[in-house]
Amino acid sequence: MTDFLGVNMSESSYTAGPTNVALLEHTIDNNFKNTVATHGDREALVVRHQSIRWTYAELDAHVDELARALMASGLAVGDRVGLWSPNRFEWVLVQYATARIGVIMVCINPAYRTHELEFALNQSGCSMLLAAPEFKTSDYRAMWESVATGCPGVNEAVFFDSESWTGLLERAAGVSSDEVRERSESLSADDPINIQYTSGTTGLPKGATLTHRNILNNGYFVGEACGYTPDDRVCIPVPFYHCFGMVMGNLGSTTHGATMVIPNDAFEPVSVLATVAEERCTSLYGVPTMFIAELAVPGFDQYDLSSLRTGIMAGSPCPVEVMKQVIDRMNMDEVTIAYGMTETSPVSTQTSADDSIDKRVGSVGRVHPHVEIRVADPETGETVPRGVAGEFQTRGYSVMSGYWNEPEKTAQAIDAEGWMHTGDLAVMDDEGYVNITGRIKDLIIRGGENVSPREIEEFLYGHPDIVDVQVVGVPDQRFGEEVCAFVQAKAGSSLDTDSVRDFCNGRIAHYKVPRYVICVDEFPMTVTGKIQKYLLRNAAVEQLGLSGFGPTA
């Protein structure tokens, strides 16, 4: 039996996406050049806070200049370049220029601090760092200088809005466009082109390695699900360093000749509403907290959002009332919900424009084209019947090539049959819709950011007054979950939330800093000596008065 999407239905919790639309079997640059050739006079990129407004032909010329400059700097196919910046036009240039010459772009979260920056640069083997000079209260130059000696493989750090950026571009004269074209034509769709660090539950972030084929196709099919054409203008307030921004946003747009519209360097609800109104955007992206903030802007009804028709909400479950307001007050009748993970490029399932509100808030949609999904028993690995909970697993073109230089962790995530084990608990209904019900592991999701409890625990073990620490997620009205640390203090010392947060500030990303710190004398244990984190979580909910904020996973 098949449904109108061509999805195969069965009694087991397995389904495969339609294959009537072929996969794109070329590189990002091949695809981008085809778009430039067809839509060269159309607007490609609008960056409001930097007063940038380029057509596809103009964007292509800037991409070519940077590609020549990077080649002139000695970067070879497969070399890694770190990109540490909020949303700026330079980010887009680096994304498409590195793809043009086969250099692997390593996305570094703008919230990263010195400890995380040093790890990402060294683990990925970056030979160059491209960065904004500063962002909000962060002085990226100073942070780089403080870790530079610990990153011997980085030969050069280049900062936007500086002489080093100007100097880099001047090198472009040393390489011709024909040389760049020859390099581009030598590349394969299966070449790795992007490394994104993603937190799990087992310590430091892992570098999910994604190919042209992975992210080009995922961006394309996300755009197809939104019905994009060259007339669409996509407002992208989500960060580029995540797949949500660079794949679903940028590649989703350029594969369809649509316009990328960037309202600001980071999310700010007023600038988003003003951008949609003044740029006549047809699509808007965000996590639920972003839409909630936009709807709460004073004078919301003064913004003309009549141009909107679609968009994507992802990152965490959407409350029913929020979805209703997004449709009714923001004119987004065709808004879709998407689900996935960095390791799957990212989207595996998505709702359709004509799905009911109940399906859009009660599920994460159905399987994407050229992807297989199933719900499996975590213990036996067997596919469970429809309606039975198990682990969500996926395989197909979108699954990463692996974690960078970590074959053992790759083998733990992707089994011998190619199934990516997400660690998420899910239920598939009779129509193939998937509902994510929780997590098998202890991963915390705060405002769309994956937070590894183990990573924070290992960091806090460095505090001179902490003997032991356990980190859990607790419910939060604004971010979905917040970080809570249970700590055992050394005899004679005292710890409180402020002292622990002070230890973290400036050294780890703000979203990893514990919101709550609870001092304990001991941890609840099983008879075999395993700490029972669910009891800690329950105790925190009760002690902090968070029981009305929603379930914990």
* Alpha-carbon span 63 to 71, nearest angstrom: 12
- Residue 549's pLDDT is 62
Task: Report the chain's terminal Cα–Cα distance, integer Å.
Answer: 34
* Alpha-carbon span 536 to 472, nearest angstrom: 7
CB-based contacts of 60: which residues, under 8 Å, 6+ apart? 32, 33, 36, 40
Secondary-structure class of domain 444-549 per CATH: alpha beta
| 8 A C-beta contact, residue 259 and residue 343 | no
- Residue 54's pLDDT is 99
CA distances from 379 to 11, 121, 128, 200, 395 (A): 20, 36, 44, 20, 19
| 8 A C-beta contact, residue 476 and residue 458 | no
Phi, psi dihedral angles at 13 (to 5 degrees):
-80, 60
Closest CA to 169 of 182, 178, 158: 158
- Residue 2's pLDDT is 42
Amino acid sitting at position 407: P
Phi, psi dihedral angles at 185 (to 5 degrees):
-70, -15
Q: How many residues does the chain have?
A: 553
Q: What is the largest CA-CA distance in the chain?
A: 71
* Alpha-carbon span 375 to 345, nearest angstrom: 19
* Alpha-carbon span 353 to 350, nearest angstrom: 10
Kind and range of the H or E run holding 402 = strand 402-403
* Alpha-carbon span 422 to 200, nearest angstrom: 10
CB-based contacts of 238: which residues, under 8 Å, 6+ apart? 244, 245, 249, 267, 285, 286, 287, 290
**Which sign, positive or negative, has the C-alpha torsion 445, 447, 450, 453?**
negative
| 8 A C-beta contact, residue 418 and residue 402 | no
Omega before 133 within 30 of 0, i.e. cis? no
CB-based contacts of 253: which residues, under 8 Å, 6+ apart? 223, 228, 232, 234, 236, 259, 260
Ranges of each domain in the chain: 14-425, 444-549
Each residue's pLDDT expressed in tens, for the chain with a length of 553 residues: 444 334 444 589 999 999 999 999 999 999 999 999 999 999 999 999 999 999 999 999 999 999 999 999 999 999 999 999 999 999 999 999 999 999 999 999 999 999 999 999 999 999 999 999 999 999 999 999 999 999 999 999 999 999 999 999 999 999 999 999 999 999 999 999 999 998 755 567 899 999 999 999 999 999 999 999 999 999 999 999 999 999 999 999 999 999 999 999 999 999 999 999 999 999 999 988 799 889 989 999 999 999 999 999 987 777 788 899 999 999 999 999 999 999 999 999 999 999 998 898 889 999 999 999 999 998 899 999 999 989 999 999 999 999 999 999 999 999 999 999 998 889 999 999 999 876 777 788 899 888 888 889 889 988 999 988 899 999 998 898 999 999 989 888 889 899 999 999 999 999 999 999 999 988 887 544 557 787 898 999 999 999 766 433 3
Secondary-structure class of domain 14-425 per CATH: alpha beta
Count other C-beta atoms under 10 Å from residue 449's C-beta: 21
Q: Is 405 left (phi over 0), alpha (psi -120 to 50) or beta?
A: left
**414 has which bridge partners?**
420
Interior angle at CA 312, CA 306 and CA 314, nearest 5:
140
- Which tokens go with 22? 């072929």
CB-based contacts of 51: which residues, under 8 Å, 6+ apart? none
**Which sign, positive or negative, has the C-alpha torsion 15, 17, 23, 29?**
negative
Phi, psi dihedral angles at 471 (to 5 degrees):
-115, 135
CB-based contacts of 157: which residues, under 8 Å, 6+ apart? 128, 129, 131, 144, 148, 164
